[in-house]
Amino acid sequence: MDIHGNGVLVTGGASGLGEATARWLHGRGARVVLFDLNAERGTAIAEELGEGAAFVAGSTLSDGDTAAAIAAVQTLAPLRGVVACAGGAPRSARTLDRDGAPHDRQLFDDIVAMNLTGTFNTVRLTAAAMAAQEPDGDDGERGAIVLTASIAGYEGQIGQIAYGSAKAGIIGMTIVAARDLAVHGIRVNTVAPGTIGTRAWDQAPAEMRQAFEAKVPFPRRFGRPEEFAALVEHLLVNGYLNGEVFRLDGAIRFDPR
Protein backbone atom coordinates (compact mmCIF):
# COMPACT_ATOMS: atom_id res chain seq x y z
CA MET A 1 0.00 0.00 0.00
CA ASP A 2 1.26 3.42 -0.92
CA ILE A 3 0.37 5.91 1.80
CA HIS A 4 1.11 8.87 -0.47
CA GLY A 5 -2.21 10.48 -1.30
CA ASN A 6 -4.19 8.01 0.80
CA GLY A 7 -6.08 8.73 4.01
CA VAL A 8 -4.84 7.74 7.48
CA LEU A 9 -6.68 8.17 10.77
CA VAL A 10 -4.50 8.60 13.87
CA THR A 11 -6.26 8.32 17.22
CA GLY A 12 -4.54 10.07 20.10
CA GLY A 13 -2.99 12.26 17.43
CA ALA A 14 -2.67 15.41 19.53
CA SER A 15 0.21 14.21 21.70
CA GLY A 16 2.98 11.69 22.20
CA LEU A 17 3.27 8.78 19.82
CA GLY A 18 0.12 9.74 17.96
CA GLU A 19 1.37 13.24 17.24
CA ALA A 20 4.76 11.94 16.10
CA THR A 21 3.06 9.42 13.81
CA ALA A 22 0.68 11.98 12.32
CA ARG A 23 3.56 14.32 11.57
CA TRP A 24 5.68 11.51 10.11
CA LEU A 25 2.97 10.13 7.81
CA HIS A 26 1.85 13.57 6.67
CA GLY A 27 5.45 14.33 5.79
CA ARG A 28 5.41 11.29 3.52
CA GLY A 29 2.37 12.41 1.64
CA ALA A 30 -0.49 10.81 3.55
CA ARG A 31 -3.75 12.67 4.10
CA VAL A 32 -3.98 12.58 7.88
CA VAL A 33 -6.79 13.16 10.34
CA LEU A 34 -5.85 13.55 14.00
CA PHE A 35 -8.55 12.31 16.39
CA ASP A 36 -8.17 13.29 20.04
CA LEU A 37 -9.95 14.76 23.05
CA ASN A 38 -7.54 17.71 23.19
CA ALA A 39 -9.16 20.11 20.74
CA GLU A 40 -6.78 23.01 21.32
CA ARG A 41 -3.63 21.00 20.74
CA GLY A 42 -5.07 18.91 17.92
CA THR A 43 -6.31 21.95 16.01
CA ALA A 44 -2.94 23.64 16.36
CA ILE A 45 -1.06 20.62 15.00
CA ALA A 46 -3.41 20.23 12.03
CA GLU A 47 -3.09 23.91 11.19
CA GLU A 48 0.68 23.67 11.44
CA LEU A 49 0.75 20.66 9.09
CA GLY A 50 -1.45 22.47 6.61
CA GLU A 51 -2.93 20.95 3.46
CA GLY A 52 -3.79 17.30 3.77
CA ALA A 53 -4.26 17.41 7.55
CA ALA A 54 -7.36 17.85 9.68
CA PHE A 55 -8.43 17.45 13.29
CA VAL A 56 -11.57 15.95 14.81
CA ALA A 57 -12.26 16.28 18.52
CA GLY A 58 -13.78 13.32 20.30
CA SER A 59 -13.43 10.02 22.09
CA THR A 60 -12.68 6.59 20.66
CA LEU A 61 -15.35 5.28 23.03
CA SER A 62 -18.02 7.25 21.17
CA ASP A 63 -19.42 5.69 18.01
CA GLY A 64 -20.57 9.09 16.79
CA ASP A 65 -17.21 10.77 17.38
CA THR A 66 -15.37 7.93 15.67
CA ALA A 67 -17.75 8.01 12.72
CA ALA A 68 -17.11 11.74 12.37
CA ALA A 69 -13.36 11.14 12.32
CA ILE A 70 -13.73 8.46 9.65
CA ALA A 71 -15.90 10.77 7.56
CA ALA A 72 -13.29 13.53 7.87
CA VAL A 73 -10.64 11.20 6.43
CA GLN A 74 -12.91 10.21 3.57
CA THR A 75 -13.36 13.84 2.56
CA LEU A 76 -9.60 13.98 2.00
CA ALA A 77 -8.90 10.55 0.47
CA PRO A 78 -9.86 6.87 0.77
CA LEU A 79 -9.30 5.52 4.29
CA ARG A 80 -6.39 3.11 3.81
CA GLY A 81 -4.57 3.38 7.14
CA VAL A 82 -5.49 3.54 10.82
CA VAL A 83 -3.07 4.05 13.70
CA ALA A 84 -4.66 3.56 17.12
CA CYS A 85 -2.53 5.45 19.64
CA ALA A 86 -5.24 6.72 22.02
CA GLY A 87 -4.83 5.46 25.57
CA GLY A 88 -3.00 6.00 28.82
CA ALA A 89 -3.49 5.65 32.54
CA PRO A 90 -4.41 8.45 34.97
CA ARG A 91 -2.63 6.71 37.84
CA SER A 92 -1.30 3.37 38.99
CA ALA A 93 -2.59 1.14 41.78
CA ARG A 94 -1.81 -2.27 43.22
CA THR A 95 -4.27 -5.16 43.32
CA LEU A 96 -4.16 -4.63 47.09
CA ASP A 97 -2.59 -1.51 48.55
CA ARG A 98 -0.19 -1.60 51.49
CA ASP A 99 -3.12 -1.40 53.89
CA GLY A 100 -4.86 -4.35 52.23
CA ALA A 101 -7.55 -2.29 50.47
CA PRO A 102 -8.52 -3.70 47.06
CA HIS A 103 -7.88 -1.89 43.78
CA ASP A 104 -10.64 0.57 42.94
CA ARG A 105 -12.99 -1.16 40.50
CA GLN A 106 -13.96 2.02 38.65
CA LEU A 107 -10.32 2.95 38.06
CA PHE A 108 -9.70 -0.48 36.55
CA ASP A 109 -12.76 -0.22 34.32
CA ASP A 110 -11.80 3.29 33.19
CA ILE A 111 -8.25 2.30 32.23
CA VAL A 112 -9.41 -0.80 30.36
CA ALA A 113 -12.03 1.28 28.54
CA MET A 114 -9.53 4.01 27.65
CA ASN A 115 -7.03 1.55 26.19
CA LEU A 116 -8.65 -1.75 25.21
CA THR A 117 -12.29 -0.87 24.55
CA GLY A 118 -11.38 2.32 22.72
CA THR A 119 -8.96 0.40 20.54
CA PHE A 120 -11.56 -2.25 19.74
CA ASN A 121 -14.12 0.42 18.87
CA THR A 122 -11.60 2.01 16.53
CA VAL A 123 -10.87 -1.32 14.85
CA ARG A 124 -14.46 -2.37 14.31
CA LEU A 125 -15.68 0.96 12.95
CA THR A 126 -12.71 1.74 10.71
CA ALA A 127 -12.67 -1.84 9.39
CA ALA A 128 -16.32 -1.47 8.39
CA ALA A 129 -15.48 1.69 6.47
CA MET A 130 -12.46 0.09 4.80
CA ALA A 131 -14.39 -3.03 3.83
CA ALA A 132 -16.85 -0.91 1.85
CA GLN A 133 -14.05 0.48 -0.35
CA GLU A 134 -12.63 -0.95 -3.54
CA PRO A 135 -9.32 -2.81 -3.10
CA ASP A 136 -6.09 -0.97 -3.81
CA GLY A 137 -3.36 -3.04 -5.46
CA ASP A 138 -2.88 -6.54 -6.85
CA ASP A 139 -3.41 -8.34 -3.53
CA GLY A 140 -6.90 -6.99 -3.01
CA GLU A 141 -5.85 -5.00 0.04
CA ARG A 142 -8.36 -2.46 1.30
CA GLY A 143 -6.39 -1.08 4.23
CA ALA A 144 -4.06 -1.66 7.15
CA ILE A 145 -4.52 -1.03 10.88
CA VAL A 146 -1.73 -0.56 13.43
CA LEU A 147 -2.55 -0.83 17.13
CA THR A 148 -0.48 0.39 20.08
CA ALA A 149 0.11 -1.93 23.00
CA SER A 150 3.04 -1.75 25.44
CA ILE A 151 5.66 -4.08 26.80
CA ALA A 152 3.66 -3.69 30.03
CA GLY A 153 1.26 -6.08 28.31
CA TYR A 154 3.97 -8.74 28.64
CA GLU A 155 5.70 -7.88 31.92
CA GLY A 156 3.67 -5.22 33.68
CA GLN A 157 5.23 -3.69 36.75
CA ILE A 158 3.86 -3.42 40.26
CA GLY A 159 0.90 -1.05 40.15
CA GLN A 160 0.13 -1.69 36.47
CA ILE A 161 -2.58 -4.33 36.89
CA ALA A 162 -5.15 -2.28 34.96
CA TYR A 163 -2.84 -0.85 32.31
CA GLY A 164 -0.98 -4.12 31.81
CA SER A 165 -4.24 -6.04 31.45
CA ALA A 166 -5.55 -3.58 28.88
CA LYS A 167 -2.37 -3.67 26.81
CA ALA A 168 -2.25 -7.48 27.03
CA GLY A 169 -5.77 -7.42 25.62
CA ILE A 170 -4.57 -5.42 22.62
CA ILE A 171 -1.75 -7.90 22.09
CA GLY A 172 -4.26 -10.74 22.17
CA MET A 173 -6.64 -8.86 19.88
CA THR A 174 -4.06 -8.57 17.11
CA ILE A 175 -4.07 -12.05 15.57
CA VAL A 176 -7.83 -12.47 16.01
CA ALA A 177 -8.59 -9.18 14.30
CA ALA A 178 -6.14 -10.01 11.50
CA ARG A 179 -7.88 -13.34 10.91
CA ASP A 180 -11.36 -11.84 11.17
CA LEU A 181 -10.55 -9.10 8.65
CA ALA A 182 -8.50 -11.17 6.20
CA VAL A 183 -11.57 -11.88 4.07
CA HIS A 184 -11.99 -8.12 3.65
CA GLY A 185 -8.38 -7.50 2.65
CA ILE A 186 -7.48 -5.62 5.84
CA ARG A 187 -4.23 -6.25 7.73
CA VAL A 188 -3.77 -5.71 11.49
CA ASN A 189 -0.46 -5.39 13.35
CA THR A 190 0.56 -3.99 16.72
CA VAL A 191 3.55 -2.13 18.12
CA ALA A 192 4.43 -2.73 21.78
CA PRO A 193 6.76 0.13 22.74
CA GLY A 194 9.02 0.24 25.73
CA THR A 195 10.05 3.57 27.21
CA ILE A 196 9.75 6.21 24.50
CA GLY A 197 10.92 9.78 25.12
CA THR A 198 7.76 11.73 24.44
CA ARG A 199 7.16 15.19 25.91
CA ALA A 200 5.50 13.60 28.96
CA TRP A 201 8.96 12.59 30.14
CA ASP A 202 10.16 16.19 30.06
CA GLN A 203 8.49 16.73 33.43
CA ALA A 204 10.26 13.76 35.06
CA PRO A 205 13.33 14.28 37.27
CA ALA A 206 16.62 13.72 35.47
CA GLU A 207 17.54 10.94 37.91
CA MET A 208 14.38 9.03 37.01
CA ARG A 209 15.07 9.32 33.30
CA GLN A 210 18.64 8.16 33.77
CA ALA A 211 17.52 5.17 35.83
CA PHE A 212 15.12 4.03 33.11
CA GLU A 213 17.68 4.57 30.36
CA ALA A 214 20.32 2.60 32.24
CA LYS A 215 18.11 -0.51 32.12
CA VAL A 216 17.92 -0.57 28.32
CA PRO A 217 20.50 -3.06 26.98
CA PHE A 218 21.12 -1.22 23.69
CA PRO A 219 20.95 1.51 22.68
CA ARG A 220 21.08 2.79 26.27
CA ARG A 221 18.54 5.56 25.87
CA PHE A 222 14.83 6.18 25.51
CA GLY A 223 13.28 5.33 22.20
CA ARG A 224 12.51 8.26 19.95
CA PRO A 225 8.93 8.98 18.86
CA GLU A 226 10.18 9.11 15.27
CA GLU A 227 11.40 5.51 15.60
CA PHE A 228 7.89 4.46 16.56
CA ALA A 229 6.44 6.41 13.64
CA ALA A 230 8.89 4.88 11.18
CA LEU A 231 7.91 1.38 12.31
CA VAL A 232 4.23 2.27 11.94
CA GLU A 233 4.86 3.45 8.38
CA HIS A 234 6.54 0.15 7.55
CA LEU A 235 3.66 -1.85 9.00
CA LEU A 236 1.25 0.16 6.87
CA VAL A 237 3.13 -0.29 3.60
CA ASN A 238 4.60 -3.81 3.88
CA GLY A 239 1.76 -5.91 2.55
CA TYR A 240 3.02 -9.24 3.92
CA LEU A 241 3.14 -8.21 7.57
CA ASN A 242 -0.08 -9.27 9.26
CA GLY A 243 -1.24 -10.44 12.67
CA GLU A 244 2.03 -9.69 14.43
CA VAL A 245 3.13 -7.74 17.52
CA PHE A 246 6.46 -5.91 17.32
CA ARG A 247 8.33 -4.89 20.46
CA LEU A 248 10.13 -1.56 20.14
CA ASP A 249 12.15 -1.47 23.35
CA GLY A 250 15.92 -1.79 22.92
CA ALA A 251 15.66 -5.36 24.35
CA ILE A 252 14.56 -4.16 27.79
CA ARG A 253 12.43 -6.43 29.97
CA PHE A 254 10.60 -4.56 32.73
CA ASP A 255 11.63 -5.30 36.30
CA PRO A 256 8.87 -5.84 38.86
CA ARG A 257 9.19 -2.16 39.84
Report how far residue 248's alpha carbon sits from residue 148's, in angstroms, rounded to the nearest whole number.
Answer: 11
CB atoms within 10 A of CB 254: 19
Sorted by where each begins, the domain ranges of the chain are: 7-247
Residue 132 is predicted with a pLDDT of 98
C-alpha 220 chain-centroid distance = 24
Task: Enumerate the active-site residues.
Answer: 163
Share the mean pLDDT of the chain: 96
Mean pLDDT value across residues 66-92: 97
d(Cα 148, Cα 130) in Å, to the nearest integer? 19
Residue 257: predicted pLDDT? 84
pLDDT value, residue 156? 94
What's the pLDDT score for residue 16?
A: 95
pLDDT for 138: 87
What average pLDDT does the segment 226-237 reach?
Answer: 98
Mean predicted confidence (pLDDT) in 50-76: 98
The confidence score (pLDDT) of residue 128 equals 98
Per-residue pLDDT, 212: 86
The 3-state DSSP class for residue 43 equals helix
Q: Across the strands, what pairs with 245?
A: 190
Q: How far apart are CA 122 and CA 145, in angstroms?
A: 10
> Model confidence at 209, in pLDDT bands (50, 70, 90)?
confident
Phi, psi torsion values for 54, nearest 5 degrees: -150, 165
Distance CA 32, CA 79 (A): 10
- For residue 72, pLDDT over 90 is answered with yes
Question: Model confidence over 148-203: pLDDT tens digits?
Answer: 999 999 999 999 999 999 999 999 999 999 999 999 999 999 999 999 998 888 77
Average pLDDT for 112-129: 98
Residue 165, pLDDT score: 98
Using alpha carbons, select from 94, 237, 244 the residue that is nearest to residue 161: 94
Whole-structure pTM value: 0.96
Write the CATH number of the domain with boundaries 7-247. Answer: 3.40.50.720
How many CB atoms within 10 Å of residue 214? Answer: 9
First-to-final CA distance of the chain: 41
CA dist 71 → 13, 20, 64, 75, 151 (Å) = 16, 22, 10, 6, 32
